[in-house]
Amino acid sequence: MTQPAILALEDGTVFEGDSVGAPGLAVGEVVFNTAMTGYQEILTDPSYARQLVTLTYPHIGNTGCNAADDESTRAWAAGLIVRDVPRRPSNWRNQVALPQWLRERNVVAISGIDTRKLTRILRDRGAQHAALAAGEDIDVDAAIEAARKFPGLQGMDLAKVVSTAQAHPWRDGRLDLDANAFVRVEPKYRVVVYDFGVKHTILRMLAERGCEVTVVPAQTGAAEALALRPDGICLSNGPGDPAACDYAIAATREFVAKRIPLYGICLGHQLLGLAIGARTVKMKFGHHGANHPVIDLDTGRVLITSQNHGFAVDEASLPGNARVTHRSLFDGSNQGIALTDAPAFSFQGHPEASPGPHDVAYLFDRFIASMEAR
Ligand SMILES: NC(=O)CC[C@H](N)C(=O)O
């Protein structure tokens, strides 16, 4: 039997629907994602911690879920909001239907609401604080109250919360679907990946390019990381406000000063910006999707990219030694920088995609080239 669920926004707007996940109350910032596929990767992307994700594509769950597509070891999104979950998933890789997958991971989810209306609210007013309640005996007023009490992501350091507790190696390349196994490549470069909420595909794309990857906790000091004698450092994606990660900004500053090849992805991009003295700002509703056009200013090529961020580097605040390499064609915001006096560069979107097109994968090759050059 289906149980009821509601989504209550901080302004008192309430959407009523059906529970399609675990019972309970989840509170966070609601964001909309326009990707048509990849719900499992989205739900397991640690960058969605403390966020309730609504997918604008109306049918979610069509292909089910499987053991290989997780982007981390658990579901991180605080909750899921969809229009409709098809009753029966159909795909050769399907192992478990989305509602069961959500229940097993204790993710609260609602279906049957007008996600187009919700998305218009988010576009007009910006990302909203909200509470998602599912199960019998829902207290609507308590949910609205809980939404109002959510402190917001600004100033919130979540990277150290989602990060690994211990340093560990990573060896698997990407999944070879024909062989049904992860690709292994003989390592050539030692790379330290800062785990601020790293997605597995980032680690896989490094491993399959010959990197011997060591994943380290977010708060690892620069000296400790350098003691591993890395050829390069990768700063991962991650949730929360980048400006709150003072420890990571300090470590990044040292890597830049020592001219270690450095590659920042999403939160990692923002941290590089902050480390060289730029500012980051909270966006109105951010970029979350798999079809965002971004221009590579060096080549003039337009890349179709995967995006998931709510903060951005303020281009006007960049110092003279930072070159703007990429810009969003949706709103003109900064999407990439490269330093002119150190082998450090970064990208705001997701070069690893997952889900999304592979247009930006060349940045992984650029990182390899910068380690090779050194
Ligand atoms: N995917 C990410 O790394 C997101 C970075 C940061 N938390 C933001 O929202 O902008």
Give the total residue count for the chain.
374
Residue from 265, 309, 352 whose mutation best tests the ligand 1 pocket (most atoms within 8 A of CB): 309
- Written as tens digits, the pLDDT of the chain (374 aa) is 799 999 999 999 999 999 999 999 999 999 999 999 999 999 999 999 999 999 999 999 999 999 999 999 999 999 999 999 999 999 999 999 999 999 999 999 999 999 999 999 999 999 999 999 999 999 999 999 999 999 999 999 999 999 999 999 999 998 888 888 889 999 999 999 999 999 999 999 999 999 999 999 999 999 999 999 999 999 999 999 999 999 999 999 999 999 999 999 999 999 999 999 999 999 999 999 999 999 999 999 999 999 999 999 999 999 999 999 999 999 999 999 999 999 999 999 999 999 999 999 999 999 999 999 99
Instruction: Name the residue at shortest CA distance from atom 8 of ligand 1.
Output: 309
Q: How far apart are CA 340 and CA 306, in angstroms?
A: 26
Q: How far apart are CA 78 and CA 35, in angstroms?
A: 18
Which residues are documented as binding site for L-glutamine?
47, 238, 240, 267, 270, 308, 310-311
Annotated catalytic, 352?
Answer: yes
Annotated catalytic, 211?
Answer: no
Residue from 236, 267, 279 whose mutation best tests the ligand 1 pocket (most atoms within 8 A of CB): 267
* Residue 17 · residue 108 · CB < 8 Å: no
CB under 6 Å to ligand 1: residues? 47, 237-240, 242, 266-267, 308-311
Q: How far apart are CA 260 and CA 273, in angstroms?
A: 16
Ligand 1 centroid to Cα of residue 47, in Å, is: 6
Task: Please give the C-alpha separations between residue 336 and each of 21, 108, 270, 363, in angstroms, as whole numbers.
Answer: 37, 35, 9, 11
**Residue 275: its pLDDT value, please?**
98
Annotated catalytic, 358?
Answer: no
Interface confidence: ipTM more than 0.85:
yes
**Residue 178: its pLDDT value, please?**
87
Q: How far apart are CA 170 and CA 192, in angstroms?
A: 10
Q: How far apart are CA 80 and CA 42, in angstroms?
A: 10
DSSP assignments along 45-114, one per residue: -GGGBTEEEEESSSB--TT-B-SS--SSSS--BSEEE-SB--SS---TT--B-HHHHHHHTT-EEEESS-
What the chain holds in terms of domains, given with CATH numbers, is 4-149 (3.50.30.20), 159-373 (3.40.50.880)
**Residue 180: its pLDDT value, please?**
83
Q: How far apart are CA 86 and CA 58, in angstroms?
A: 10
**Residue 195: its pLDDT value, please?**
99
Q: Tell me the angle at which helices 200-207 and 362-373 cross, rounded to the nearest 10 degrees.
A: 50
Given the DSSP bridges, would you call strands 262-265 and 232-235 parallel, antiparallel or unpaired? parallel
303-337 core/surface letters (b: 16 or more CB in 10 A; e: else): bebbbbbbbbbebebbeeebeebbbbeeeebbbbb
Q: How far apart are CA 73 and CA 54, in angstroms?
A: 22
**Residue 177: its pLDDT value, please?**
84
pTM more than 0.80: yes
Burial of 298 from C-beta contacts in 10 A (0-12 / 13-18 / 19+):
exposed
